[in-house]
Amino acid sequence: MRPQPPSGTPAPVCGMSAGGCDGAADWPADVSDGSSLPAVELPRKRKGDMEERNSTDCKMEDDLSRSEEEDQQVKIKCFREPHRQIEKRRRDKMNNLIDELSAMIPACQPMVQKPDKLTVLRKAVQHLKALKVGTSSAFADSTNKPSILPQDDFRQLLLRAADGFMLVVSCDRAKILFISESVSKILNFSLLELTGQSLFDFIHPKDINKVKEQLSSWEYPQEHMIDAATGLQVQTDAPIKPTHLSSGAWRSFFCRMKYSRVAGKQEEKHQLPCTAKKKDTSRYCTLHCTGYMRSCPSSQLDSEGDAETPSLSCLVMLCRPLPHGSPEPPKHINAKPSAFVTRCAIDGKFTFVEQQATTVIGYLPQEVLGTSCYEYFHQDDLQHLAEKHRQVLRSKEKIETQCYKFKTKYGSYVSLQSQWFSFTNPWTKEVEFIVSSNRVMSRGPGHIKDEEAGRLKAMQEEIPIIPSLSNGVGTMIYAGSIGTQIANELIDSYRVNSSPSSGASSPFGSTNEKCPLVSPPISTSTAAIGASVGCTKVRHSQASSGGGAASSSSQPDSRTAAGASSATADSSGQVSQLDLDGMVVPALSSFSSDEAAMAVIMSLLETEVNVGQPGDYEDLHWPF
Amino acid sequence: MTADKEKRRAISREAARRRRRVESEVFEDLSRLLPLQQSVRDHLDKPSVIRLTLSYIRMHTLLTGKTGTKAEASHKVKCGQVTDGQMVRHEFNGGCGEEEEKEKYDADASEETNMYLRILEGFLMVLSTEGDMIYLSENVSKYMGLTQAELMGHNIFEFSHPCDHEELRNNLRVTAVWSGEKRDFVMRIKSALTHRGRSANLKSATWKVLHCQGRSKVCVAPSSVSCLLLTCQPLPLSHTLLSTQTFTSQHSMDMRFTYCDQRMTLLLGYSTEELLGRSIYDLCHTRDTNCLTKNHFNLCFKSQSVSGRYRMLVRGGGYVWVESHSAVIPNAHSSKSRPGANQPLCILCVTYVLRCVCGLWFKATFTVSTHFIELYLSK
């Protein structure tokens, strides 16, 4: 085997190495090349058992011939040093395992001294034997394939982990043929209530068609599969036969199923699907259903004599409720009607206004979209808000404003206080918009007129960027330009930062530091495809006007193309600053499967982008 | 003198050999008690035997142990008894003799388990709070290229991408109070599978992206075992059947649209031209910005992601709840002139519409137009 590269780092881009030792048989080969001995050590740090596992003579009987300390003396002397280390590591690992084992065995725990290895092992044997006594023979059944877990337990565990239930429905009438007991914890219905019923009785009325389609889609010609290589749909022009689909066709869809808040009230629930006395107040939870079509011999399934079709298609699925949040998305996320969320572009023009804002500001969302928020701010607040605006564009933190007045549709002002947060695109690292959470401070009848010229003049001196304001009318025209100007400052600073050399004077000092031109210690030999922050050029320079995707001029820098299937790589570890637009992968044609393509992509993106920079994304409010 | 020394050495060597022999015998006894196939058993080394023994004991504790919360108590699995997983039995129960029936049951049970695994399209993993892979379902070899026996007992941190370790550590924190709380994250693990799906050496392993979902589980008695129960699924997009409530879209790496299929137009009302160059963030409800950001991050650094639920604005008013499954793929549309050339990356999203249009009074921010488009939703 090739000795590992002396740098001791994991091997290259795609052929990620976990370190490699081939066991005792190959040691002589490595030893002959003395320089590689230390290198053999490092990558094997974590290999522990694996290295032994890989060796050819790791069987139990051969342990007798395995070297121990006393026997080392008979080996070649140049083995000794690294060999001792390897042995020590092996012993430590074994001791750790023995300790863990003794911790798990009740018989070992009350012991005063730490039991020795042999005792622990013997106790373990006894313990296993004792455990077996309590279990059924299915566990240790030698006729069948033995498994660590009994089959039933495994299925239970799986359903518990998946937090879902198994569902088998017949394709022709959506009769529930089987449903696992775990459904009772998810939907609060018992098996009795569900088995044999029609699935459609439990599906949200608006999803019934969707489910019908999934059950019997061979009737519908619009089947599409996606080809992940091209991202395009593959049209199936040929007529689809049921037999073709009844074996193994995959299904994945979402639907809403009824659930009961209180378990056990059978009669009521039984009536719900049939009678429609009152409005159906059932609650639904959204499930992700995945599974495949299967044909079952109908004679054993349907006792009602539905033996017209010789083989019945059914859909076998795992249904999992969506993981995030409550079963139903909350209707009103913000219970308080006096708070609302808005979003505006970096120049302050509204791009999103939540519906409940209308009760506060009087305007309908569509009336304010596209207008600058500065048009609604009172002059007294312009300076402070402009400052906050500048601040939020340059900060990753949430910025709190002071109380300010917002002009409503009716001319009066309402007192608000907001929390602003700028959103930075994870890929381009450019600020794209500002999210504002707004709270009403008071709804007092403040009718503050904006005709005080004296005030305007004072403002004029403090904020030189506002052109001279001669009369009240002109206020509105120029207020909007404040936002635009602040935005332009930002855009200019992006342009300035397009090359690292000019980074010194940039207000975005923090972002420049993240430019990974110096590769962090871990994987140096991999291609440094970093989402290099300040090193990208401004690609969307018309952020405020919301222009289309502009293709930037690509830097013809040297790029290390990732060799997909080759395990060897450029060990000199070319660190090159790549233009994001020009990030490349080898042509797909060299791959034989989607998975291979994915492997390449992953290997490209695996690199040291955020290694050493864990703090960057702390304030992105991830749920954990 | 030296002869004496030699003699002593010989004696001590003999003693050592005897000790090792005894030890090996105990190891053999132990391995024989483990429910493993003979072929697997033959290839186990000593540390592996201990690892597997530990796993066995831990799983046994987990399955039979009392749990911390009341809710969990009802899940208590009766070890070894036949429980509700009798789907296959219902289907195929014939009038067999008892022994035959038992054999048949075993075979059926095994088949049923296989079906469960097949439906899951992934494998089951039980992780201790330190990250030890206490248990892995047998089909893990399909995904990682290494067998259950080779992996069980090892630590997940040895097999996962270093950049994901932080996230992993956060997810592994389980306290007794929060038994049963959910987990949902994407991680990259080493896979020793070759392109053709054969198992290769770990040295030439590549990364595989897995979507891990599950919950924590805490057992209080007899011994405290806290762990995570997770299903680990790769995120394939290629064989997704698109229903009429599902559409695909393609984006540049900054999540601006480069393509969307006609279903999107039908479902949301936007034409492709309107969308090109627009950011997906503009198209979605502001309160879901965090959800989208996390999704975007997963795509940038792990190349695949499941978004969770978020709202997409409908042209003309209102929004729909959707969930997107996305992956980074090479952009097939460009550089056709040089077939062997390198291709830039783009993001492919498959988006499922979960609910019909909500909040029709709510105006889309995307187009500040005043007319409403009649939305055509599927049958």
pLDDT one-digit tens code per residue, A19-55: 333 333 333 333 333 333 333 333 333 444 444 444 4
* pLDDT-derived band at B15, boundaries 50, 70, 90: very high
Tokens matching residue A21: 């030792």
Q: What is the mean pLDDT of residues A245-267?
A: 68
Backbone φ/ψ region at A573: left (φ over 0), alpha (ψ -120 to 50), beta: left
| Average pLDDT for B80-86 | 34
Distance CA A272, CA A279 (A): 10
CB contact under 8 A, A252 and B279: no
Contact between chains at B116 and A318 (C-beta distance less than 8 A): yes
* Mean pLDDT in residue range B121-139: 89
Q: Which residues of chain B make contact with A18, given a CB cutoff of 8 A?
A: 158, 190, 202-203, 205
The pLDDT-based confidence of A419 (bands split at 50, 70, 90) is very high
Per-residue pLDDT at A550 exceeds 60? no
- Residue A541's pLDDT is 35
Q: Give pLDDT, residue A467.
A: 39
| Of the ranges A208-222, A272-286, A379-393, A528-542, the best mean pLDDT one | A379-393
Supply the pLDDT for residue A286: 86
Cα–Cα nearest to B282, from B317, B313, B316: B313
- Could you tell me the pLDDT band of residue B86, with boundaries at 50, 70 and 90? very low
Tokens read off for B56: 């066995």
Mean pLDDT of A454-460: 44
What is the 8-class DSSP label of residue A117?
H
Q: Which residues of B touch A323 (CB under 8 A)?
A: 182, 184, 213, 308
Handedness of CA B170, B172, B174, B179 (dihedral sign): positive
Report CB contact under 8 Å: B330, A317.
no
Summary mean pLDDT of chain B: 76
Computed on alpha carbons and rounded to an integer, the radius of gyration of chain A in Å comes to 34
Chain B contact for A251, CB < 8 A? Answer: yes
**Nearest CB partner across the interface for B242, out of A144, A226, A583:** A226
Q: Nearest Cα to A104, choosing from A91, A132, A123, A130?
A: A123
| Alpha-helical regions (H) of A301-400 | 358-361, 365-368, 379-393
Range picked from A475-484, A548-557, B48-57 for highest mean pLDDT: B48-57
Q: Give me the residue from A139, A156, A366 closest to B35, CB to CB.
A: A139
pLDDT for res A471: 37
Report chain A's mean pLDDT, rounded to a whole number. Answer: 62
Q: Which of A305-314, A411-420, B18-27 has the lowest mean pLDDT?
A: A305-314
Q: pLDDT band for position A80 (50/70/90)?
A: low
Pairwise pLDDT comparison (A108 vs B28), residue with the higher score:
B28
pLDDT above 80: residue A62: no
Length of chain B: 379
The pLDDT of residue B281 is 92
Of the pLDDT bands very low, low, confident and very high (cuts 50, 70, 90), residue A418 is: very high
Does residue A594 sit at the B interface (CB-CB below 8 Å)?
yes
User: What is the per-residue pLDDT for A73?
Assistant: 53
A169: phi then psi, degrees, rounded to nearest 5: -125, 145
The predicted pLDDT at position A15 comes to 33
pLDDT above 60 (res B156): yes
Averaged over A504-515, what is the pLDDT?
33
Considering the entire predicted model, what is its pTM? 0.64
Higher pLDDT, A506 or A393: A393
Q: Residue window 51-80, chain A: list those with CB within 8 Å of chain B.
A: 52-54, 58-61, 63-64, 66, 68, 70-71
pLDDT tens for each residue of B304-323? 888 888 999 888 778 888 98
Does the bond joining A242 to the residue before it have cis omega, within 30 degrees of 0?
Answer: no
Beta bridge partners, B193, equal: B199
Say how many C-beta atoms besides its own lie within 10 A of residue A355's C-beta. Answer: 15
A16 vs B43, which has greater pLDDT? B43
Q: Which two tokens stand for residue A520?
A: 């962090």
Rounded to the nearest angstrom, the gap between the alpha carbon of residue B180 and the centroid of all alpha carbons in its chain is 18
Tell me the H-state helices in B34-86.
38-42, 46-64, 70-73
Assess whether pLDDT exceeds 60 at residue A242: no
The candidate with the shortest Cα–Cα distance to A406, out of A457, A453, A353, A456, is A353
DSSP 8-state symbol, A277: S
Of A140, A138, A135, A125, the residue nearest B36 (C-alpha):
A140
Predicted confidence at residue B368, as pLDDT, reads 31
pLDDT at B293: 93
Tokens found for residue B365? 């921010």
Per-residue pLDDT band for B184 (boundaries 50, 70, 90) equals confident
Residues of chain A found within 8 Å of residue B321, distances taken between Cβ atoms: 286, 329
Residues A532-547: what's their mean pLDDT? 33
* Stronger pLDDT, A32 or A218, i.e. the higher one: A218
Instruction: Name the residue with higher pLDDT: A389 or A336.
Output: A389
CB A33 within 8 Å of CB A590? no
Higher pLDDT, A250 or A544: A250
**Residue B36 pLDDT greater than 70, yes or no:** yes
Mean pLDDT of A426-455: 69
Structure token pair of residue A140: 């240790």
For the cut 70, the answer to whether the pLDDT of residue A204 exceeds it is yes
A418-422, A449-453, A574-578, range with the lowest pLDDT: A574-578
Identify the band that residue A256 occupies on the pLDDT scale cut at 50, 70 and 90: confident
Average pLDDT over residues B6-22: 91
Taking the CB of residue B76, how many other CB atoms lie within 10 A of it? 13
According to the model, what pLDDT value does residue A336 have? 54
Phi and psi at residue A298, to the nearest 5°: -70, -25
In angstroms, the separation between the Cα of residue B37 and the nearest Cα of chain A is 6
Phi, psi for A176 (deg, rounded to 5): -80, 110
pLDDT for B375 beyond 70: no
Weakest mean pLDDT among A180-184, A281-285, A287-291, B56-60: A281-285
8 Å CB contact of A365 and B166: no
A455: pLDDT confidence band, cut at 50, 70 and 90? Answer: very low
Cα angle value A47/A50/A51 (rounded, 5°): 80
pLDDT at A45: 38
Q: Which of A104-118, B150-164, B202-216, B237-251 has the highest mean pLDDT?
A: B150-164
Question: Is the confidence at residue A147, as pLDDT, over 50?
Answer: yes
In what helix (H) or strand (E) does residue B257 lie, and over which residues does it extend?
strand B257-260
**If you count residue pairs, one on A and one on B, with CB atoms under 8 Å apart, how many are there?**
510
**Partner residue facing A606 (CB), from B16, B161, B304:** B161
Percent of chain B scoring above 90 in pLDDT: 15
Report yes or no: A237 at the B interface, CB cutoff 8 Å: no
- Cα separation, A289 vs B235, whole angstroms: 15
* Mean pLDDT, rounded, for A505-516: 32
> What pLDDT is attached to residue A225?
54
**How many whole angstroms separate alpha carbon B35 and alpha carbon A150?**
10
Residue B295 has a CB neighbour count (10 Å cut-off) of 26
Query: Could A125 and B359 be called an inter-chain contact, meaning their C-beta atoms sit closer than 8 Å?
Result: no
DSSP reduced 3-state for B234: strand
The verdict on a CB contact (< 8 Å) between A70 and B9 is yes
Q: At what angle do helices A472-496 and A379-393 cross, to 10 degrees?
A: 10
What pLDDT score was predicted for residue A420?
Answer: 94
Contact between chains at A252 and B241 (C-beta distance less than 8 A): yes
A111 interface with B at CB cutoff 8 Å: no
Residue A67's pLDDT band (cuts 50, 70, 90): very low
pLDDT for the residue numbered A366: 81
Question: Residue B45 pLDDT more than 80?
Answer: yes
Q: Would you tell me the crossing angle of helices B98-120 and A151-162 to the nearest 10 degrees?
A: 30
- Residue A584 has its nearest CB partner, among B42, B258, B342, at B342
Can you give the pLDDT at residue A29? Answer: 33
